[in-house]
Structure 1
């Protein structure tokens, strides 16, 4: 039997992993995500345990790791709409490999510093802008528009599976080898992703060029922003996710400080806690598509979004009941994993169904500027709060901040919809 390609229609009954280009993109994404998870584990361990970074410095490193969309998101969206997406993905992976590869080199030369980790975090964040926008923008060229949701669901499931494995493996390895050495694996993963991406051939992915567009740069940016804020569903998802990420940024930046420094848990336990959340996310990724089809994607989006603020309350409670900190954080990780992954799967493909292809890069970039830009702002706030008061106080503020989006959802007129209204689709 001949496998379908993007040159021929892919029917609703055809498994998207049988599309060769999507399968390669899926595999490349898997290596990249494995690298991201291991690097995400190695960074706080290296900074806190090896280089003894204080909480405020940790928040600054976290800010640099997430600031890319604030700095480069909007222009990157315009450029990627003009450029071919495949070369952008490849060069972003190369930048990842070079930046991460510099860490073990500096460690073996005994010149590794907090400043270098901060610079690596910044470079990776900027490369991530181009990779993420190009990755989202290339999917409609690899799969038919109505199969993008299925493709996103497959990507989400593989990502949560990798997330379930990587932190625990990295934690066990960190017991016998130095955390900076883990970056060797990270660099190899990105180079493997490059080899896979070179073999994809997105159908219709061509460079428009500045002359073809015939419009000024600022106008192209404003067009993407206008679509994002005028479309009711996009606007709701934007507001909810941005406010949610402010609180999440506080918790993500301060939780490693609380667990590794204040509670003093071992690196392998830190990795195991992350694995629990990932396993819960994996279960949600397998269950959520069935729930989405049965109850409707908008209703499921509202449900999982409402779960998030209740899920994080266990994190600040761990600062109060320190003798029970580990089980409370484990509960928080499990509930957060369910909430985040469930919402992601429930919304899979919605943005693609309401956004024209020619605006996909700009809309994705504008969305990410606001949503992902909120995370480093929250992280910076968390560092300042912890520096002035305590990490426990910062965790409480983060948990309360994540409750604000629930109010928006309850007041939103979109709560009466079950599925995406047909008139919103493009």
Structure 2
């Protein structure tokens, strides 16, 4: 089933057609498997042999954190929706009928949070530049058409809508000339983030097609590559046929005077265990690139300060730089995975307090919300009122960056839109007259 190549396993993906067989390994009965399959008609499922064989502890499934990280759960969606979809599957309804119901459920899940499809689209004149986002003045995000999948999908992924096969929900492009032309017209852009999906799902020739033109742009200081490949397929940098070519490409980026930052997504310490990961990290750092680590805080997977402090310490020892702890975004199964902001702050604070200063490069808990990246700095009492203290790490309006503001304390709040301003009629990012409902 898994072929050997250059001493390493060849990549093998598992998709929804393999789901029932894999769920049997987790000990789920017929009814439980049917419900999970129902959820998988709405949310995407994809994993691979490396994750299945090397990372998941099947003796602990379905409670194993890595299992929960990649396999849909029966209660991730409203029970009534799951029941309707399960009934359709059980009755072997036509696929068009199943998909119509799945699309209805998807429409209720806020598939494009923070205006990521509508508000951030760059333009040249009146014409939109597809497959790009320009949310902050200095940073442009590029979504290569060939990178709109991953080695495996995370169950909490805020970009889940990219992977469900609905063209109306996707944003991607292979217009490299349009990308370069837009950046040239905007000298304030100094950083490009190649993301997806997963940029490293692409082979070296395709990655090179996007990176090489950027090396000619003197205004660019840094190129970032967003990826989960180190956790889900480290062989991309050790045993794959184009692993060496990819690393040589990274060396060229660094030699061109650009800071190459590898934005690695690690959600649980077990993802760091296999020796392939250490080997891949060593090879990437050897090119002159840096590796910065980030992940969201996810209930039932990593909502424990000991998990985070363990990850940050190990990442530091391996030469990586802890960068972000995110709050689960307001999309998809947020209700299932979200941790209240008050608890998120406590987890971050306790983990942060237990590591050395070199690990304290990490920032969080951070919400990537519509107006920008909002960090929860703490909970305190001001003028007799208990409040959240917050600030913008990044903002659409750069004048807001770094300025503290306050929100009324709410132990149930999980996102910026759940909060109400304290001491003012509106938050600083809201226009005059835009009062929040009482």
Question: Structure 1-normalised TM-score?
Answer: 0.22
Write 1 or 2 for the structure with the bigger share of strand. 2
Q: Which structure shows the higher helix fraction?
A: 1
Q: TM-score, normalised on structure 2?
A: 0.22
Bigger Rg, which one: 2
